[in-house]
Amino acid sequence: MATPPSTAAHAPARSTPPIGVLPAAGVSASAFLLFGLQLAGWGHGVLLLGLLAAFLVSRELGKDLSLIGLGIAIVSTTSVKADVDWDRFFTIGTVLILAVSAPLLVDRLVLRRRAIRFPWLSGGTWNRWQMGYIVAVPVLGWLILPYYFITSGAYENWPHITDGGALARFFVGVNFVGTWDELFFICTCFALLHRHFPLWTANVLQAVIFVSFLWELGYQEWGPLLTAPFALLQGWLFSRTGSLLYVLIVHLLFDVMVFLAIVHAHNPGVVPIFLV
């Protein structure tokens, strides 16, 4: 087993009082209200209360949760429901870029620290299990995703695309969002939460935000049964490898199958590689 370096994801939890998990849970719950239930007023209210409570518990906890809350609030300014029209393509892309860059800039320029980092390589080697998982991910996606999209009807949450240009935007969009997921949910939310809480507490809290966002994006019906384990695995893998590159490879390989499965669901026979 490769020994992971001391990155933000592996840093020992700070001496945050146990009650600190309550405001952190409030911030995560705000994402569920904003993205999952589409309750903007309640969601922003819970987010604000969570941040205020965090500063009462610990100033450092308040700072870190404020960075997460800033990203959540920025994403909440627009719908992230899958859409490849040019105006939505650029609007969603701009909002997601801001949701990652704004917390990073505040961390660097206002708070004068480096709590948010994007460790491309860990400096260690990936073991056989980790390499095997990279191979297993697209295979699992090939087996599971067509069944999920078709039997649940969730593929209809993505537009039926026949135009080549729109199909190209869809492919770019799927990979862009997959990359953003790792930058925000793992390298930002998970890493900041892990500064204060044990691994699995931080991982569950980030997974709530991750899965809520994916629900609005289109992974609905019984989609959380797939997206929740995936979000937890990505956080755990990052904690083990300390490598953004590794979790990104895993995610994008899975997203290739997402793209192909949705195209197949809308256009049976066009991608003749699936069993369903």
**CA 181/CA 14 separation, integer angstroms:** 25
pLDDT of 119 above 90: yes
User: Region 168-196: what's the mean pLDDT?
Assistant: 97
Which one-letter DSSP state was computed for residue 267?
A: S
| Chain segment 35-83, per-residue pLDDT in tens | 999 999 999 999 999 999 999 999 999 999 999 999 999 999 999 999 9
Q: Tokens 């609005």 — which residue? A: 216
- Whether 95 maps to a domain, the answer reads yes
Answer whether residue 218 is part of any domain: yes
Average predicted confidence (pLDDT) for the chain: 93
Q: Please give the structure tokens belonging to residue 18.
A: 């146990």
Whether residue 11 is contained in a domain is answered as no
Residue 1 predicted with pLDDT over 70: no
pLDDT band, very low/low/confident/very high, at 113 (cuts 50, 70, 90):
very high
Average the pLDDT over 3-31 and give the result: 76
pLDDT, residue 5, reads 46
Q: Is residue 12 part of a domain?
A: no
Q: Indicate if the pLDDT at residue 123 is higher than 70.
A: no
What's the pLDDT at 256? 97
Residue 14, pLDDT score: 67
Position 255 in a domain = yes
Determine, yes or no, domain membership for 1.
Answer: no
Q: How big is the chain, counted in residues?
A: 276
CB-neighbour burial class of residue 99 (10 A; exposed 0-12, middle 13-18, buried 19+): buried
Tell me which residue range forms the domain holding 32: 18-266
Q: Where are the alpha helices (DSSP H) in the chain?
A: 21-31, 40-57, 59-75, 86-105, 128-152, 164-181, 191-194, 199-217, 224-241, 244-266
Would you state the structure tokens that stand for residue 27, as one six-digit string? Answer: 């911030």
Band (3; pLDDT cuts 50, 70, 90) = very low
Residue 20 has pLDDT above 90, yes or no: yes
CB 9 within 8 A of CB 50: no
Angle CA(40)–CA(82)–CA(51) in degrees, nearest 5?
A: 30
The tokens describing 203, both together, are 């991982």
Q: In angstroms, rounded to a whole number, what is the distance separating the alpha carbons of residues 74 and 221?
A: 26
**Of 245, 244, 249, 234, nearest in space to 204 by CA:** 234
Q: Is the pLDDT of residue 10 over 70?
A: no
Question: Is 271 within the bounds of a domain?
Answer: no
- The share of the chain scoring above pLDDT 70, in percent, equals 95
Whether 7 is covered by a domain: the verdict is no
pLDDT of residue 8: 45
Number of domains within the chain: 1
**Percentage above 90 pLDDT, the chain:** 87
Asked if residues 220 and 154 have their Cβ atoms less than 8 Å apart, the reply is: yes
Rounded (10°) CA dihedral 24, 26, 32, 37: -170
The model carries a pTM of: 0.93
Q: pLDDT tier at 122 (50, 70, 90 boundaries)?
A: confident
Indicate if the pLDDT at residue 124 is higher than 50: yes
- Average pLDDT on 98-114 reads 97
pLDDT at 11 over 80: no
Predicted confidence at residue 15, as pLDDT, reads: 78
* pLDDT given at position 4: 47
